Amino acid sequence: PGHEDRWERVLVSLTDITARKKAEAYLEYLGRHDALTGLRNRSFFSDEVNRLDRRGPWPISVVVVDVNDLKAINDETGHAGGDALLRRVGEVLRKAVEQPATASRIGGDEFAILLPGVDERGCEQVVEQLHELQALNNQFNAGSTPMSLSIGRATSGDKDRLEAVLHRADEQMYQAKRNYYAKRGH
């Protein structure tokens, strides 16, 4: 009889440890990922930029993506509609990258892809794939709000600081966004 009591206590203790470990792993996941899209988050992105700045491999390409019309979509369909669109953007970005590349949500409707060891041509191919996946996603979700993205890209020169590369990609993305809204008469 005494052995049975001890066995039950050990079993309860193991169960508690398993639950705590799962909770810790989930908290660690949330610390590095965006809960809405499942992509990496800004904290991970900043750490990865710093790591790549120190260690490479060069060249490093960056693609920045901004969702067009998200505010209007939120106003028209509510935040549930905007969130659904952001999840779709996450799906597209996830499909477009493979390790060691990473896709992150770095702001409300802003995303970035880090492409270590990828030159300009490889970066162009990723952007082309993004456009193809965006078109496919829009076809598949024909009854939903169409996804429209403004995209910028840049590739490091020899040991460029990644902040400078990000700035060039941002400038290109903002120009694409200005062109998008100019065509729509905004």
Active-site residue set? 109
All residues at 6 or more sequence positions from 56 whose CB lies less than 8 Å from its CB, including other chains: 116, 117
Q: Are 63 and 118 in contact (CB under 8 A)?
A: no
Dihedral of the alpha carbons of 40, 155, 107, 43, in degrees to the nearest 10: 40
Q: Across the strands, what pairs with 116?
A: 60
User: Residue 79: is it exposed, middle or buried by C-beta count within 10 angstroms (0-12/13-18/19+)?
Assistant: exposed
**Alpha carbon distance 128, 145 (integer Å):** 22
